[in-house]
Amino acid sequence: MQRNPTVGPEDAQLGNGRSVDEDAERKAVEATAVRLLARREHSVEELRRKLLARGHGEPAVETVLAKLQAKRLVSDARFIASFIHHHAQRGQGPIRIRAELRQQGIDGSSIDAALDEAEIDWSEQAIVVHRRKFGSSPGRSLPERAKQTRFLQYRGFSTDQIRAVLKSDMDAELGFDSDDA
C-alpha cells in the first residue's frame, strides 16, 4: 500500500472526528487508569492527579475519567468506604481519617456521611489502640497520661474518645465494672 507523503499521521482522522493520535492517547490514559485501579481504589481526584503527573493530556484524562465513572469503575463513595475501613483497621481515628480524605480531594459532607455509615465504635477503637500500645494499666503519673493522650490525638481520636479510654482504664485499675456505672 502506497502512503501519501503529504499526509502525516497527525492528519489521519477517525470516522468520529478524532485524530488517530487523540484516540491513541485516550487508550493509553485508559490503560494506565485501569492498571492503577486494579491495585486499589482511587478517588476521582487522586486518579486525575496521577494521570496528569504521568504526562497525559487533560482533555484525554477528563474523557477517560467520565467514561470510568459511567462504568462505575471509579467511585468516590467506594473509595471512601475502603479508605475508612483500611485506616480504622490500622488503628487510626476519625479525625485523622477525615483529614487524610480531605487531602485526597474528597468533600466534607461525603466524608461525614461515610464515617456515620461505617458503623465503627470509635471509642471502642480508641480503647483497642491504647491497649495494644500501652497495655491495660492506665498511666499512673501525669506525664505518662499526657504521653498516652498525645499518642491517641496523633492517631486521630477526639477528646471525648480519649477521655473514654483513660476512664475505662482507670475503672479497670480500680476494679469497677462498666456495668456498675
When pLDDT is cut at 50, 70 and 90, the band that residue 171 belongs to is low
Q: How far is CA 8 from CA 5, 18, 19, in A?
A: 7, 15, 11
pLDDT of residue 22: 83
Residue for grid cell 480504622? 88
Give pLDDT tens digits for 59-115.
999 999 999 999 999 999 999 999 999 999 999 999 999 999 998 889 999 999 999
In order of their start, the domains of the chain are: 20-70 (1.10.10), 76-117 (1.10.10.10), 122-180 (1.10.10.10)
Q: Which of 22, 147, 161, 23 is nearest to 92 (CA)?
A: 161
Q: Which of 86, 88, 175, 179 is nearest to 138 (CA)?
A: 175
Range 127-147 average pLDDT: 86
- % of the chain at pLDDT higher than 70: 81
